[in-house]
Chain A
Amino acid sequence: MSEKDKALLAITMGDAAGSGPEIITKALAEPEVRKLCRPVVIGDAAAMKEAFTFTRAPGEVKAIKNLAEARFEDGMVEVIDLHNIELDRLTRGRVDPMAGKAAYEYIKLGTEMTLAGESDAIVTSAINKEALNKAGYHYDGHTQLLAELCGVKDVAMMLVTGNLRVSHVSTHVSLHEAIERARPPRILTVLRLTNAAVKQMGIAEPKIAVAGLNPHSGEGGLFGDEEIKYIAPAIEEAKQQGMNVIGPLPPDSVFLRTYEGQFDAAIAMYHDQGHIAVKMLGITHGVNVTLGLPIIRTSVDHGTNFGKAGKGTADPTSLIEAIKLAGVMVQNRKRLAK
């Protein structure tokens, strides 16, 4: 791949009080990451420099003002420096509104750059919701914030761990509300978004399994009728639209079957249904992908890991996987557009 064909990824630094900056130093030292993409960090150059002193990863920080200054040389970590962290005031390992505000600004700029086509995708490091809220930004997380910045409503969260791709019909709502949200229009939207995303992940004809809502998928109406009333009709409609969809399948085995390769993705009806399955695999490899945005966005699927901040020991695997997946999706988007 020639240098300019490599995906240009805007990587946001995340919450400076957490281990986000440290995992970036480690991830960008990986040759396979450099082979696949041209990374640029959106963050605070001084905070990134300090992160290198914690991790002792190979590489050097270069502060730049904008993308035009970026050279993408190996060993250099180029940071579009928003200069918004005062290191001597930062309370590392704890919720700090300054870090919350800064994290918001990285995401905003990264999203704008990507929307404008200057960067090919945005990859986000971990933020802390409480820090964001204390800084005056009231979002329930990245997904809601990105949807607003992009001006879209129909988004969905997909978790990816190896072969297991799980999209969620709803996420941060009570179980009671999640049940009400599992209705045909929304299920169909999530199916459509998932089908498109899996294609971008390199699978030409995705086969998607849909979980039921109730135990044993309702067992013919015995343990609940949402499968009959809402889920099956949505699947029918998706099939008529040409998608390869199967279900509703019993929730307790559909994710294992997907992980084993029987399906390319699974649709979870509520947060814990999908998250229980993914987290049982171990959280170090997981990637969080936001579907439905006009841009490609991947993210680490873990939190700020305050306990490890400043120690240099945080695991970069999830970020590395998020970068690689964004790179793959960018290449396939180009290919599919042709």
Chain B
Amino acid sequence: MVDKNKPLIAVTLGDITGIGPEILVKVIVEGAPQSCRLLAVGDAPVLRSSFNALGAKFDLPVFQNIEEAAASDAQVMVLDLAQGGGELLALARPHPEAGRMAAEALIQSAKWAKEGKVDGVVFGPLVKEALYLGKQKYNDETQMMREQLEAPLMKSVAKIGNIFRVTIAEHVPLQKIPEFITRENVLEAIEILHEALMTYGVKSPRIAVAALNPHAGEGGLVGREEIDHIAPAVAEAKEKGIDVYGPIPADTVYVRAFKGQYDGVVNMYHDQANIALKMAGFGEIVIIFARSPVIITTPSHGPAYGKAGKGTADHSNLRAAIEVAASLAQQKLRR
């Protein structure tokens, strides 16, 4: 018997042409996190094939109806969306049909979360190129969820070990980044990070804001964005009672954060964060969606087509994403 007070976390297979199904199977075979009940959402025959491919026995209870699944006392179970697609499994490249199935599973799970039928959602790795819902093509999953869940302010926050991170200008040319560094954007990023850390249970989080220019602009000598935009945003956040520091030179902000000086870092651009994290050997990064009506997390990596079907893909990121969703759900249930 499993404690039904444990949160029920829906976990989707992600893009089935990639590593999504096999990493979920590996998490289940290894023993799903004890902090939750796990509901695998997708096509049951696809999941069964994936178990078989890894030489594991498929003996999970399968439900067609969400209410019945939620009422079950199994720790791990399957909600069969009967999507088909078995022939696409481990195809190892993006496919519109697989993208559509992945998007449907995610949005359906999130809607169940909105209705209170599940306590949180973890979605398996997706690819932007094949992100269709019905006939609609979305640029990325955040845009899709904003629209489908009527949550226009949703924004992704990365959890890296114990450090949370928001990046202001993620996938944009470096040339365009200064345009994004406005007082409003920096302040919003600080506030989102603060909210996300508080929601995760970090009391009075300490937030560092990275600078844009070398040596944090050196008093205006090598760039003015720090003086004109970043410092005013930091001052305003302080007035609002947030424990925030900066602008901090980007080449030491993570050195300090990993020493435990900060709980969160606001980055100006993609590589500021990613160079530091790769050097530190951080593979386990979980994406949490802040300002969302429901709890949603995902592993930070993509469908890794090159590894699909080999059974060698690392599932630790997915496991971490499930644990984070479960932890967030437990805290929400307690409130």
Chain A residues within 8 Å of B, Cβ to Cβ: 140, 171-179, 213-216, 218, 222-226, 251-253, 255-256, 259, 270-273, 275-283
Contact = CB atoms under 8 A, between A and B. Distances in A.
A175 B251 contact: no
Given A176-B178, A215-B171, A256-B279, A171 B214 contact: yes
B222 A174 contact: yes
A16 B254 CA distance: 31
A216 B177 CA distance: 15
A275 to B, nearest CB: 4
B271 A172 contact: no
A276 B250 contact: yes
A224 B173 contact: yes
10 contacts: A174-B217, A174-B222, A176-B178, A215-B271, A252-B271, A256-B278, A270-B214, A271-B214, A273-B275, A276-B250
B175 interface: yes
A276 B277 CA distance: 10
Contacts of B171: 215-216, 222-223
A270 B175 CA distance: 13
A140 B219 CA distance: 13
Contacts of A273: 271, 275
Interface string B233-257: 0000000000000000111101100
Contact of A279 (B170, B251, B274, B277): B251
Interface of B: 170-178, 212-215, 217-218, 221-224, 249-252, 254-255, 269-272, 274-280
Contact of B175 (A140, A179, A282): A179
Given A172-B214, A172-B222, A174-B223, A280 B175 contact: no
Nearest to A224: B173
Contacts of B254: 276, 280
B178 A252 contact: no
B276 A280 contact: yes
B224 to A, nearest CB: 8
B278 to A, nearest CB: 5
B248 to A, nearest CB: 12
Given A256-B278, A275-B251, A280-B254, A173 B222 contact: yes
Given A214-B174, A252-B278, A280-B279, A272 B251 contact: yes
A181 to B, nearest CB: 12
Contacts of B280: 280
Contacts, number: 109
Nearest to B251: A275
Given A215-B269, A224-B174, A226-B173, 11 more contacts: A176-B223, A215-B172, A215-B270, A215-B271, A216-B270, A223-B172, A226-B175, A255-B278, A271-B215, A271-B251, A272-B272
Contact of A277 (B173, B214, B275): B275
For the complex of A and B, list the 10 residue pairs with the smallest distance between their C-beta atoms, beginning with the closest.
A224-B173, A174-B223, A252-B274, A275-B251, A280-B279, A271-B214, A215-B270, A276-B275, A272-B250, A251-B271
A252 B274 CA distance: 5
Contacts of B222: 172-174, 177
Contact of A175 (B212, B252, B274, B275): B212
Contacts of A256: 278-279
Contact of B270 (A171, A226, A252): A252
A52 B272 CA distance: 41
Contacts of A270: 214
A164 B313 CA distance: 29
Contacts of B255: 279-280, 282-283
A226 to B, nearest CB: 7
A18 to B, nearest CB: 18
A215 B268 CA distance: 12
A48 to B, nearest CB: 30
B276 to A, nearest CB: 5
A324 B215 CA distance: 28
A215 B175 CA distance: 11
A252 B275 contact: yes
Nearest to B255: A279
B325 to A, nearest CB: 26
A173 B221 CA distance: 8
Nearest to B218: A172
A175 B272 contact: no
B243 to A, nearest CB: 24
Contacts of B249: 272
- Which of A175, A224, A225, A226 has the most chain B CB atoms closer than 10 A to its own CB? A175
A175 B178 contact: yes
- Which of A140, A176, A218, A272 has the most chain B CB atoms closer than 10 A to its own CB? A272
Nearest to A269: B174
Nearest to B274: A252
- Which of A174, A251, A255 has the most chain B CB atoms closer than 10 A to its own CB? A174
A278 to B, nearest CB: 8
Contacts of A178: 214
B278 A175 contact: no
B307 to A, nearest CB: 17
Contacts of A223: 171-173
Contacts of A279: 251-252, 255
A17 B278 CA distance: 37
A272 B248 CA distance: 12
Contacts of A174: 213-214, 217, 222-224
A317 to B, nearest CB: 16
Contacts of B217: 174
Contacts of A281: 279
Nearest to A280: B279
Nearest to A140: B221
Nearest to A278: B251
A278 B280 CA distance: 11
A176 B173 CA distance: 12
B283 to A, nearest CB: 12
Contacts of A252: 270-271, 274-275, 277-278
B10 to A, nearest CB: 31
